[in-house]
Amino acid sequence: MKQPQGKLTAFAVTAALFSVAAQAGTYPDYGYAPPASYTGAKFVLSQSYPTTPPSGQLPAFFKQLPAKRDNNFETWRAYMDAVKNYCLEGNVDVNWDVQKNKVRPWYHMPWQHYGPLGREGIHGLTKEAQIQVKQLAATQTASGQTYAVGIYNDIGAYTIGKVWKDPQNPDPTYTSQPNSFANGTVVCKALFADIDRSTVPFLVNPVLWQGYITETFTSAKRQVKEVALVQMDIAVRDTRMSDTGWIFGTFQYNGAKTGKAGWDNLVPVGIMWGNDPTEVGNEFTNPTPTITRINKALQQTAINTNTKELPPTHLGWNGRLNGPVDNPNSSCESCHMTAESPQKAIMNPLFQKIPPAAGSPYWMEWFRNIPAGHPFTPGTQSTDFSLQMSGGLVNFYQWKCDMGGIYENGINACSKIANMQLKMMKSGNAAPQPMQRVIRDPSLEQLLE
Encode pLDDT of 174-200 as tens digits: 999 999 999 999 999 999 999 999 999
Mean pLDDT of 347-358: 94
Alpha carbon 418 to chain centroid, angstroms: 24
Mean pLDDT for the stretch of residues 244-258: 98
**Closest CA relative to residue 148, chosen from 103, 209, 89, 204:** 209
**Does 385 map to a domain?**
no
Please name the amino acid found at residue 394.
Answer: V
One-letter amino acid of 424: M
The dihedrals phi and psi of 125, each to the nearest 5 degrees, come to: -80, 140
For residue 35, how far is the Cα from the chain centroid?
Answer: 26
The answer to the question of residue 319 being in a domain is yes
Give me the mean pLDDT over the 421-441 stretch: 35
| Structural domain includes residue 251 | yes
- Candidate from 212-226, 342-356, 405-419 with smallest mean pLDDT: 405-419
Q: What percent of the chain has pLDDT over 70?
A: 84
In a domain, 265, yes or no: yes
pTM of the model: 0.88
- Predicted confidence band of residue 26 (pLDDT cuts 50, 70, 90): confident
Of 85-99, 168-182, 305-319, 396-410, minimum mean pLDDT range: 396-410
Cα angle 278, 280, 286; round to 5: 130
Confidence of residue 9 (pLDDT cuts 50, 70, 90): very low
Counted domains in the chain? 1
pLDDT at 12: 37
- The pLDDT value recorded for residue 16 is 37
Over residues 296-314, the mean pLDDT reads 97
The domain of 264 spans 7-329
- Kindly state whether residue 393 falls inside one of the protein's structural domains: no
Residue 131 lies in a domain: yes
Strand intervals (E) in 372-412: 381-382, 407-408, 411-412
Whole-angstrom Cα distance, residue 64 to residue 315? 25
Mean pLDDT value across residues 31-47: 96
User: CA-to-CA distance for 134 and 131, rounded, in angstroms?
Assistant: 8
Is residue 384 a part of any domain in this protein?
A: no
Please tell me the predicted confidence (pLDDT) of residue 448.
Answer: 57
Mean pLDDT of the chain: 88
Residue 10 has pLDDT above 90, yes or no: no
Q: Contact, 146 vs 233, CB < 8 A?
A: no
pLDDT at 447: 60
Averaged over 277-298, what is the pLDDT?
97
Least confident among 159-168, 209-218, 407-416: 407-416
Helices (H) and strands (E) counted in the chain, each on its own, are 6, 15
pLDDT at 233 over 70: yes
Is residue 20 included in any domain, yes or no?
yes
How deeply is 350 buried, as exposed, middle or buried, from its count of CB atoms within 10 A (0-12, 13-18, 19+)? middle
Task: Provide mean pLDDT across the span 413-436.
Answer: 40
